[in-house]
Amino acid sequence: GAVVSQHPSRVICKSGTSVKIECRSLDFQATTMFWYRQFPKQSLMLMATSNEGSKATYEQGVEKDKFLINHASLTLSTLTVTSAHPEDSSFYICSAQRGGPGGAEAFFGQGTRLTVV
């Protein structure tokens, strides 16, 4: 299957600082990428849809000024958690959909474990 690479896999940062997470589709072009947040033993919560060359679409309740998304190319989307606080500690995971007739397979990055201290 296709490969989606997410970096870093783990990050610890101090309260008030910003953290950037990268999501790359390595062997296909992804016009759309998705960012999720996952709490322990819970499902994937969609935060936003990242569209190449345009503004991201945020889900209700997700602060766009806090979670900045940039999709500068067909293979790269970034999520920046600004002014991080301990409650932002979570597992963040991206996915890219590879379209095709009758379906759109989603491939996930390996996720980023963010800990804000």
Partner 1 sequence: GENVEQHPSTLSVQEGDSAVIKCTYSDSASNYFPWYKQELGKRPQLIIDIRSNVGEKKDQRIAVTLNKTAKHFSLHITETQPEDSAVYFCAALSGGNNRLAFGKGNQVVVIP
Calpha distance 15→12 (Å, rounded): 10
- Give the 3-state secondary structure of residue 87: helix
Cα–Cα distance measured from residue 15 to residue 2, given in angstroms and rounded to the nearest whole number:
35
Residue 83: CB minimum distance to partner 1, A: 27
| Residue 99 binds partner 1, judged by CB under 8 A | yes
If phi > 0 it is left, if psi is from -120 to 50 it is alpha, else beta; for residue 75 that is: alpha
Residue choice 102, 114, 115, 117 for contact with partner 1 (CB under 8 A): 102
Q: Residue from 44, 62, 68, 74 that binds partner 1 (CB under 8 A)?
A: 44
8-state DSSP, 86: G
Beta carbon of residue 78, minimum distance to partner 1 (angstroms, whole number): 18
Q: Do 109 and 94 contact (CB within 8 A), yes or no? A: yes
CB of 108 to partner 1, least distance (A): 4
Say which residue the tokens 């009758």 belong to: 102
Q: Interface mask (CB under 8 A) for partner 1, residues 46-85, using x and -?
A: x--x------------------------------------
Binding residues vs partner 1 (CB under 8 A) = 1, 32, 34, 41-44, 46, 49, 93, 97, 99, 102-111
